[in-house]
Amino acid sequence: MGLFDIFKKKKVDQENQSAEVEQQTTPESALSESEKQVTDADQNQPAEKSANVAATDQQNQPVAKDAADTHVSATADHDEAKHEPAEVVAENSKDEHDGDQSVATDHNQNQGQKQDQHEDQHQDKQSNQDAYDRGLKQSRNGFAERFNRFLANFRSVDENFFEELEDTLIGADLGFDLAIQISNQVREAVKVQNIKDKDQIRSLIIEQMVSQYEAQGQNEDQTMHFAPAGQPTVILFVGVNGVGKTTTVGKLASTYKKEGKKVLLAAADTFRAGAVKQLQEWGNRANVPVVAGPEKADPASVVYTAVERAKEEHYDVLFVDTAGRLQNNVNLMQELSKINRVVKKVLPDAPQEVLLVLDATTGQNALQQAKLFQDSSDVTGIVLTKMDGTAKGGIVFAIRDSLHLPVKWIGFGEKATDLRVFSAEDFVYGMFKDLV
């Protein structure tokens, strides 16, 4: 099943769930007329009928009592004739009953556990989708407004239509090259399928966007890589100042600490005022130690100390926060290369990840930053931050098209839980659910 098919299925499932909720919360006023009549009839029964029923019950009580007494006497005589103590029979029956009840209880507990696990998985999945829905609200609304404005001028599928489509996609931060590709694909599909209806055109454009995005990500590795058991995993964070590197390190430290991993942080951004203190505050929140040097210390020396400690004290993960000065690109890239060499000197197979942190609010500027770091560092993936504060969600499409780097994490807010593992399915649904 392709990504667009998954999107449509999720859309149908969501609509069905909404319909079920509406049915369950139907107000009393929506009851049918016949249901109301039956209810009214039950409530307004004559008092005489109730009195007659009570009298009849009272007359029948002695007869029922006599029959019960006769049954008890006959049972007692029968037990004496068999010379079997009634207590023993009762105990045996109780033991058998308790055994059956115990088996039934175990079965019910197992069923309950399975149901709880299923519900937890469903809630986690729903929680993740809710986070994407909320976090992508500005991007979704911005794209929908731009897209609907474009379709409002729809008259026919001519050359002007495709020029306006390209402008619309470029304005949505998909980038020039990708906008041209999608426009050409739509042009071909319209010609082959002879599509003229506005709603069909709308669906076709979204389908081509999603299909192109899926096709370009076929060989991407979105998983996080870890060192073999017994060795610390080293993850470097790179990016310019102000994109949220230190905050991202703190959030991931909290996430992995909650998963039971032994986490260590290295404050290698020694030149930005307040960077070390900021990371130490995150470390205190997550109860994670931070390796820091004196002010203006050599970042590579801090990293070396942190890697040695991570190895000797058997830490599971070491997160390294690096500098992001762009006043002198050459010095910055030389510094990152030096840090990388220092890490390999202690742990030859590290670092396992080099994550480039990008600010989603900067749009196409983020692509220029990414190319700069990609040319100088062995970047393995991207963390996209501040997604909830921008209408430039189209940058995700441009990143895959231009950089062919996987987005591994996406941030929707300030809390640690607002940093989520990137899901292409949830992202596509969160972006386009109001358009198809």
Question: What digits encode the pLDDT tens for the residues 155-179?
Answer: 888 889 999 999 999 999 998 999 9
Q: For 308-335, what is the mean pLDDT?
A: 87
Predicted TM-score (pTM) above 0.95: no
**Count of alpha carbons within 13 Å of 288, Cβ hemisphere only?**
32
pLDDT tens, residue by residue, 269-309 = 988 878 999 999 999 999 999 999 988 899 999 999 999 99
Task: Please identify which residue in the block is written with the tokens 């006497």.
Answer: 73
Q: How confident is the model at residue 101 (pLDDT cuts 50, 70, 90)?
A: low
Task: Please identify which residue in the block is written with the tokens 């008259």.
Answer: 155
Q: What is the dihedral of CA 192, 196, 199, 203, to 10 degrees?
A: 20
Q: For 193-207, what is the mean pLDDT?
A: 90
Instruction: Indicate if the pLDDT at residue 103 is higher than 70.
Output: no
Of 344, 355, 342, 333, which Cα lies nearest the Cα of 302?
342
Q: For 142-162, what is the mean pLDDT?
A: 90
Residue 234: other Cβ atoms inside 10 A: 29
How is residue 2 annotated by DSSP? Answer: -
Task: Please identify which residue in the block is written with the tokens 């197979």.
Answer: 349
Q: Which helix (H) or strand (E) holds 357?
A: strand 353-359
Instruction: Indicate if the pLDDT at residue 73 is higher than 60.
Output: no
Q: How far apart are CA 318 and CA 380, in angstroms?
A: 16
Q: How confident is the model at residue 118 (pLDDT cuts 50, 70, 90)?
A: very low
For the chain, what percent of residues have pLDDT higher than 70?
76
How is residue 353 annotated by DSSP? Answer: E
Strands 419-421 and 407-411: antiparallel
Q: How far apart are CA 44 and CA 399, in angstroms?
A: 71
Give the pLDDT score at 331. 82
